[in-house]
Amino acid sequence: MTGKAPLVTLLCSAALVFACGPRAHNDVATGRDEPSRAERIAPNSPLAASVDVRVEDEVRIAFEVMNAGKKKLEVNFPDGRTHDVVVLDSLGREVWRWSEGRMFTQTVQNRVLRTSDALRYEEAWESPAPGRYVAVVTLASRNYPVERRTEFVVPQM
């Protein structure tokens, strides 16, 4: 029986390391080209979304979601966070998140968008290091979730 004890210990240790090891939290990190959860939920969404990134002393990320449908929409949010912006480095690691350290109300909120009405959010990432990045912007809507990604480069100054 003494010969099996080290093997069992080794197998248990390996299972523990695997279970507690790092996990990819996004599609870029996993290398998958499949659409995100938000894009799969609402493929025929009447919302048209765009992301614009301007690199200056800081990175300004503008996100606009417009009702491109023929009927008014009520966009529902489960709490005070209506959107989020995440910046990933070239390896898919998160380097900045707009909502990090912010507090949001726990109040459900709704926004009515008539045809051609838009929601626009603009956030700034200060002091970025030079490199290649991907901005992942999400509309945190319960009924019309949207996610858009765009690549950008912060040049060496």
Average pLDDT over residues 60-69: 96
Using CA atoms, how far apart are residues 62 and 78, in angstroms rounded to an integer? 22
The better pLDDT of the pair 128, 41 is held by 128
Note whether 48 and 66 are within 8 A (CB).
yes
Both tokens assigned to 79: 């709490």
Which of 136, 76, 128 lies closest to 107, judged by CA? 76
Over residues 78-105, the mean pLDDT reads 96
Q: Is the dihedral of CA 21, 24, 29, 30 positive or negative?
A: positive
Residue-wise over 117-135: b if at least 16 C-beta within 10 A, else e?
A: eebebebebeebeeeebbb
Domains of the chain plus CATH, in order, are: 4-154 (2.60.40.2360)
The C-alpha atoms of residue 144 and residue 103 are separated, in whole angstroms, by 23
Order of strands, edge to edge, in the sheet holding 83-88? 94-97, 83-88, 131-139, 146-154
How much is the pLDDT for 2? 57
User: pTM for this one?
Assistant: 0.71
Q: What is the pLDDT at residue 44? A: 74
